[in-house]
Homo-oligomer: A and B are copies of this chain.
Amino acid sequence: MKRKITLKQIARELDVSISTVSKALKNSKEISADTIQKVQAFAKLYNYRPNNIALSLKNRKTNTIGIIIPEIVHHFFSKVIRGVELVANKRGYNVIIGLSNESFSKEVINMEMLANGSIDGFILSMSKETLLQQDYHHYNETMNQGMPIVMFDRVVSDIKCDKVIVDDFNGAKNAVQKLISNQCNHIALITTKDYVSVGRLRTQGYLEALEENKITPQAELILKMDDTLDYEVHLEALEAEIEQLFKAHKNIDGVFAVNELYALSAMKVARRLGLNVPDDIQVIGFTDGVLSKHSTPSLTTVSQHAQLMGERAADLLIDKIETDFDTEEEQFQTVVINTELVERESTK
A→B interface (CB under 8 Å): 53-54, 56-57, 60, 62, 64, 72-73, 75, 78-79, 81-82, 85, 89, 94-99, 101, 106, 109-110, 113-114, 117-118, 264, 290-291, 294-296
Contact = CB atoms under 8 A, between A and B. Distances in A.
Main secondary structure of the interface of A (DSSP, over half): helix
Given A94-B98, A291-B294, 12 more contacts: A53-B53, A53-B56, A53-B60, A72-B97, A73-B78, A73-B82, A81-B99, A89-B106, A94-B109, A96-B113, A96-B118, A97-B97
A99 B95 CA distance: 8
Given A53-B53, A291-B291, A291-B294, A96 B114 contact: yes
Nearest to A52: B56
A97 B94 contact: no
Contacts of A106: 89
A117 B114 CA distance: 11
A286 to B, nearest CB: 17
A294 B264 contact: yes
A276 to B, nearest CB: 14
Contacts of A296: 295-296
| Nearest 7 interchain pairs by C-beta | A296-B296, A97-B97, A73-B78, A72-B78, A118-B118, A72-B81, A96-B96
28 contacts: A53-B60, A54-B57, A57-B117, A64-B113, A72-B72, A72-B78, A73-B75, A73-B78, A73-B79, A85-B99, A85-B101, A94-B98, A94-B109, A94-B110, A94-B113, A95-B99, A96-B96, A96-B97, A96-B113, A96-B114, A96-B118, A97-B99, A118-B118, A290-B291, A291-B291, A294-B295, A295-B295, A295-B296
A62 B99 CA distance: 17
Contact of A98 (B60, B96, B113, B291): B96
Contacts of A264: 294
A187 B53 CA distance: 61
